[in-house]
Amino acid sequence: MEGEKEFLKNYNIEKYDRPSVTTDVAMLTVRARQTDNYRTDERHSLSILLVRRGRHPYKGMWALPGGFLQRGESVEDCALRETVEETNVTPAALMPIGIFSDPGRDPRGWIISSAYVSVLGAEDIRQVGGDDAEDAKWFDISFDEKENEECELTLTNSDVVLHAQLHEKGSQFGRTDYDIKQSDLAFDHAKIIASAISAVRDQAKDANIVLDFLPEKFTLNEMQKVQEAITNVAVLSPNFRRKISGLVVETDEYRSGAGHRPAKLYRKKI
């Protein structure tokens, strides 16, 4: 009878068929756009960071940052490492979206991907671009679910507009799954992005993830606008304030100069 030590000595992992494993990260932030009227609030829009592929396959197309899992690191470490390498941005936390493993999802062969969302505050996004990150760009997101489970994803940039049509396949355990009907993005990344957005929208209901999108100090109106950009649902400001009052603390500072009453700055409660 073979003992465990002996078994492990003779075990040859190379004998077995195994997939390559990649990670993909949907990095989201909320950006403000200038308005004509100096008095009026900026428009806020949920945005995603994409990189243009410099290599085959899908060379020249836009894709999520990510890459192959290396020996000695956890999947989450890999997602973090690849994100920093490709975009020069270091995400604070990664939220797992799911594992994408449909046969045929990658033309190179048997490759499965573990996908994450990360959320960036206003301070982090300035770093974008750098050594390896020349082709990393922010895209404004428009993602609407129509009546008959058909969804339209549009990613817009000053130069490019990317479209994808998806079909809502089902929603279980707070994660919605989609089928791609048409996509301008590399691989099955339109599907991953749609899942990522729906996961973040789900989280934003209890307002906690909203704070991750904000800088260290922020006005309550900014916070509300960020939530509205994520969830696509407008709320009344007194009710919003009441709801999130337990999550934030006042500072002594004010934001003024906008043609109306200055707003007190708040900070995330620890």
The span of 32-40, 96-104, 155-163, 174-182 binding DNA (CB under 7 A) equals: 32-40
CB of 190 or CB of 223, closer to DNA? 223
CB of 195 or CB of 224, closer to DNA? 224
- To the nearest whole angstrom, how small is the minimum distance from the Cβ of residue 186 to a second copy? 11
- Give which of 22, 21, 25, 20 is closest to 83, Cα–Cα: 25
Figure out which of the listed residues 63, 95, 128, 263 binds a second copy, where binding follows CB under 8 A. Answer: 95
The binding track of 108-147 with respect to DNA, each residue x by CB under 7 A or -, is ----------------------------------------
Supply 51's token pair. 């990189």
**CA 74 → CA 25, 94, 112, 138, distances in Å?**
15, 13, 15, 27
Q: What's the CA gap between 270 and 267, in Å, rounded?
A: 9
CB of 198 or CB of 203, closer to a second copy? 203
What angle do the packed helices 237-244 and 220-231 form, to 10 degrees?
100
Phi, psi of 123 (to 5 degrees): -70, -35
Figure out which of the listed residues 59, 169, 181, 242 binds a second copy, where binding follows CB under 8 A. Answer: 59
241 near DNA, judged by CB under 7 A: yes
Task: Give, as ranges, the residues between 175 and 234 that touch DNA (CB under 7 A).
Answer: 219-221
Amino acid at 117: V
Q: How far apart are the first and last CA of the chain?
A: 57
Q: Binds 238, which of DNA, a second copy, none (CB < 5 to 8 A, cut-off by type)?
A: DNA
CB of 114 or CB of 227, closer to a second copy? 114
172 near a second copy, judged by CB under 8 A: yes
171 near DNA, judged by CB under 7 A: no
- Give which of 135, 109, 98, 74 is closest to 24, Cα–Cα: 98
258 near DNA, judged by CB under 7 A: yes
**CA 49 → CA 12, 64, 103, 155, distances in Å?**
41, 7, 26, 10
174 near DNA, judged by CB under 7 A: no
19 near a second copy, judged by CB under 8 A: yes
7 near a second copy, judged by CB under 8 A: yes
Q: Is 160 helix (H, G, I), strand (E, B) or coil?
A: coil
Question: Is residue 69 within 8 Å of 111, Cβ to Cβ?
Answer: no
Figure out which of the listed residues 93, 99, 235, 249 binds DNA, where binding follows CB under 7 A. Answer: 235
The span of 15-23, 32-40, 82-90, 242-250 binding a second copy (CB under 8 A) equals: 15-23
